[in-house]
Amino acid sequence: MSRIAVVTDSNSGITQAQAKELGVSVIPMPFMIDGETYYEEISLSRDEFYEKLAANADISTSQPSPESILNLWDSLLENYDEVIQTKQGQECLNRVMDIYKVAAECKNEINQFKEDNGKVHVVNNQRISVTQRQSVLDALALIDAGKSGAEIKEILEADKFNSTIYIMIDTLYYLKKGGRITPAAAALGTLLKLKPV
């Protein structure tokens, strides 16, 4: 049976401490706050993030660097046969470039020369937050059931539309700030006390 490592990112809500308990790896997502880069749960705690948010700091998000992803995969492949990478949904949040897929393609192209092609399986099942966390738990259960990395990827992706998440917000401020709604829509929504789900 293949030894398979499971990797996700901090958009799953899995903390570094929980990752150790589960036996998975969590890539911390970078935040730019007032021009400085922080990494979730590495150089910035959740409490510190919310303090900066409440203080109206200039906050934006980013993706981890391809180098950091490839380095993690390389270190895992020293002890494991395959890697399953779950990631935030491609259309979620700020619709950034799908860096995990690019890194996997690069990794697998490089691996063709090392004769270990196809060791990294990036799961694109359009999950975020608690649904992404569930994908990690499902992957662990499938590993215990003896499935291969390719089989796990196929099963998780086939299940992508069997999950729904509802998010409620208290203010339209951040949707306006991020460009997801116009200032006029935010003003009207605030006036009418609308709270979108």
The type of residue at 181 is: I
Q: Is 5 helix (H, G, I), strand (E, B) or coil?
A: strand
Residue 114 scores a pLDDT above 60:
no
Q: Contact, 25 vs 7, CB < 8 A?
A: yes
The β-bridge relationship of strands 30-33 and 36-39 is antiparallel
Residue 158 scores a pLDDT above 70:
yes
Instruction: Quote the percentage of the chain above a pLDDT of 90.
Output: 27
pLDDT of residue 127: 74
More confident residue, 128 or 110: 128
Cα distance between residue 108 and residue 104, in whole Å: 6
pLDDT of residue 131: 83
Residue 63 scores a pLDDT above 50:
yes
Averaged pLDDT for residues 64-82: 88
More confident residue, 171 or 95: 171
Helix (H) or strand (E) holding 126: strand 120-127
Choose the most confident range, by mean pLDDT, from 14-28, 44-58, 59-73, 97-111.
14-28
More confident residue, 148 or 108: 148
Residue 93 scores a pLDDT above 50:
no
